[in-house]
A and B are shown apart, each in its own frame.
Chain A
């Protein structure tokens, strides 16, 4: 099946620093999504990308859909303590159903 490699697995940063994480796929995706999960909660959608090369921002978050359609990255600028959580990438290769393949997540810790 499809696989997503998400890196890094975890990050420990100081408040105010910028963060970058990425996902690569063994196959082409038509949609890339980035979610954030707080402890004990469900993932919440941060950014959705639908076109190769697309660069989209949501506040301090910026994500890009790679032009090869096999990768995506998420940047967080000027991190704050509430950015703590697990960030997941997810991809969909299209078709009549809608099945997402998820990366294993990046655990972000922000030290105040």
Chain B
């Protein structure tokens, strides 16, 4: 089955530690995205990448970093500089159709808890 795999489902870290969230897709999608979701809030864009070795900051990039070394992989690192890292993190992907991008397809998320 094609899809987006986010791992792990639950992640616990101590304050001050960096942590990397994995996102892999086998949909051959061109663009990949990271969103953060907090209770009662919409999804806020952290970073996105439209091609390999290139990525752009979203609306809340501070304290996060990403890489896009392979088309199918877009890991997100939550650094110790992120002031409030506890959240539900969603990875998504989209394919370029020639005239635009398809609607986002989401993974099932990673819930990060930092204490």
Q: Which residues of B contact A1 (CB under 8 A)?
A: 59
Q: Is the CB of B94 within 8 A of A97?
A: no
Q: Which residues of B contact A88 (CB under 8 A)?
A: 42-43
Interface size on B, residues (CB 8 A): 28
**Residue of chain B at shortest CB distance from A103:** B42
A85 at the interface (CB under 8 A from B): no
Contact with A along B32-62 (1 / 0, CB 8 A): 0001000011111100101000001011000
Q: Give every chain A residue within 8 A of B40 (Cβ-Cβ).
A: 9, 104-105
Give the contacting residue for A42; candidates B94, B100, B101, B107; CB below 8 A: B107
A4 contacts the other chain (Cβ, under 8 Å)?
Answer: yes
Interface of B is mostly: strand
Let me know if A41 and B45 touch, CB within 8 A: no
Task: Flag whether B31 is at the interface (Cβ < 8 A).
Answer: yes
A-B contact count (CB 8 A): 60
Indicate if A29 sits at the interface (CB-CB under 8 A).
no
Q: Is the interface of A mostly helix, strand, loop or mixed?
A: loop
* Chain B residue with Cβ nearest A6: B42
Interface mask (A41-70 → B, CB under 8 Å = 1, otherwise 0): 111110010000000000000000000000
Q: Are B103 and A45 in contact (CB under 8 A)?
A: yes
With contact pairs A41-B108, A42-B109 given, residues A48 and B103 touching in the complex (Cβ less than 8 Å):
yes
Given contacts A42-B106, A43-B106, A45-B105, contact A105 B42 (CB under 8 A): yes
- Quick check: is B66 within 8 A (CB to CB) of the other chain? no
Which residues of B does A touch, CB under 8 Å? 4, 6, 31, 35, 40-45, 48, 50, 56, 58-59, 90, 92, 94, 100-101, 103-109, 111
